[in-house]
Amino acid sequence: MYELMVKDSFAAAHNLRDYKGKCERVHGHNYIVEAYFTSSTLGPDGLAIDFTILKKHLKIITDKLDHRNLNKDITFFKKYNPSAENIARYIYDYLKTKVKKAKISKVAIYESESSMAAYSE
């Protein structure tokens, strides 16, 4: 099994609903996103999938989130709390529908150097 990973970043504001503490107030993060993919085969070119394709799809979704107030600007987060866990799931679900030559296996979201949440099925 081959595993590939691409990385991108975005900055966004959010606040956590039903949370008691400072994160219930609007604040922001410079998020780092890692998207992991797997493939059991390689094409004739020796690639599972070109990194350029993976980066393009990841960039589309991070651009949609960049410099947004997630609670107000992104419909998904009006229903689901914009926690790192749910942001990871949101990006995972998007990539699952867009990338076909490799299987999305995990999305990790770093809110800081020392805080990360990941989503996989």
Task: Tell me how far CA of residue 41 lies from CA of 47, 118, 120, in angstroms.
Answer: 8, 25, 21
Mean pLDDT of the chain: 97
pLDDT tens digit sequence for 1-42: 999 999 999 999 999 999 998 989 999 999 999 999 999 999
**Residue 23 confidence (pLDDT):** 87
Q: Please count the other Cβ atoms lying within 10 Å of the Cβ belonging to residue 62.
A: 21
Instruction: Give the per-residue pLDDT at 30.
Output: 97
Percent of the chain with pLDDT over 90: 96
Contact 37, 84 (CB under 8 A): no
Q: What percent of the chain has pLDDT over 70?
A: 100
Domains of the chain in start order, with CATH, are 2-119 (3.30.479.10)
In 10 A of CB 112, how many CB atoms? 11
pTM as predicted: 0.95
